A and B are shown apart, each in its own frame.
Chain A
């Protein structure tokens, strides 16, 4: 399977900025450094990406992938691209969304929501009435808009956590297939994490 975003520069050549005890890459290793905050981060992610929503899990993963890609966070982009690829549209749709979401083969509702996500990523204050009206005209509900804004905002958090501490990147791309197996079955809770119970 082709990498969704191979053009993104890799900024982790010198290793993490702090001593990370866990050998696990990306956010998974960082979360082992402080377990109390990690538990709340996992709860927040699981509630938003796997909990009750008017958006499908695949739609939410596409928002996560688009925002991570725009933030040039290689680990998060690939983690969520491989996960989003397990849902309708597969990796071909994921690549289209990352390349140019305005031209991707998605519904008008999803076009409007991806546009809102992109605005949140660059400057949340730029989400204007026109963007909201467009989404509502395409059938988006309050919950669609809420979950899109919060998912986009949340990945502006995770992307900065991962890259701000220079976390490590997997040595083998097959890591992301294994990760996608877990994220599409167990979800985002610590249970099921490699090396733990």
Chain B
């Protein structure tokens, strides 16, 4: 049971967003801008794909042992790549042998340092990323994604929210968020939660 009152049946950050819409709406908007902004709206100096951004989110959440965030962002990343869960699982297993670019490997190394402590990032880490073709803005975004998930993970686990065991729940959320971004209404997980989410959405004017 969560440490504070959240709508029954709403897992992870969903319950917190329903119960505390004023504080969480800008956080959700940040996630959308950082993870999902379409390429056409981004600077030419920033070529990180939505899948790569979600892989960083999943990798950092996994490092923080946040089951809900790691599993849901694994599913979103997979759905950004036509359902390729195997690629995300390979990254979580060992980025150095995963079928991803050297640039993403170097950004994941920076992200893991950020997860431990910001001061752990060294000039060598940055030089490796630059040598692999990362721009300043891409390094900025990788650090910002890693740092922001150190918030999302702590929010979700610090309040002991529900992390379901049913992978089908995460897959449904992953499919929806990969297609729609973060600002649309909640995909229905069960009747009880669907009722709650309608109330919450009207109250918080999201979407």
A interface residues with partner B (beta carbon < 8 Å): 9, 11, 14, 17-19, 30, 33-34, 36-37, 40-41, 43-44, 47-48, 51-52, 71-73, 116, 119-120, 124-125, 127, 129, 132, 142, 145-147, 149-150, 152-154, 156-166
Contacts and interface: CB of A to CB of B under 8 A. Distances in A.
B173 to A, nearest CB: 21
Interface stretch (B30-38, B74-82, B192-200): B30-38
Contacts of B126: 17-18
B22 to A, nearest CB: 6
Nearest to A159: B118
Contacts of A73: 118
A161 B22 contact: no
A127 B154 CA distance: 10
B157 interface: yes
Contacts of A47: 22-23, 25-26
Contacts of A72: 117, 119
B121 A149 contact: no
B158 A19 contact: no
Interface in B138-176: 139-141, 143-144, 146-148, 150-160
B119 A163 contact: yes
Interface string B124-140: 00100000000011011
B20 A146 contact: yes
A157 B154 CA distance: 10
A32 B21 CA distance: 27
B151 A165 contact: no
Given A43-B29, A153-B151, A11 B158 contact: no
29 contacts: A17-B126, A34-B140, A37-B30, A37-B33, A40-B26, A40-B29, A40-B30, A40-B33, A43-B25, A44-B26, A44-B30, A47-B25, A47-B26, A51-B22, A71-B118, A73-B118, A127-B158, A129-B3, A142-B5, A145-B4, A146-B16, A150-B20, A156-B147, A160-B117, A160-B118, A160-B146, A161-B118, A162-B118, A164-B113
Given A40-B29, A44-B26, A153 B137 contact: no
A52 B144 CA distance: 27
A152 B154 contact: yes
Contacts of A145: 3-4, 159
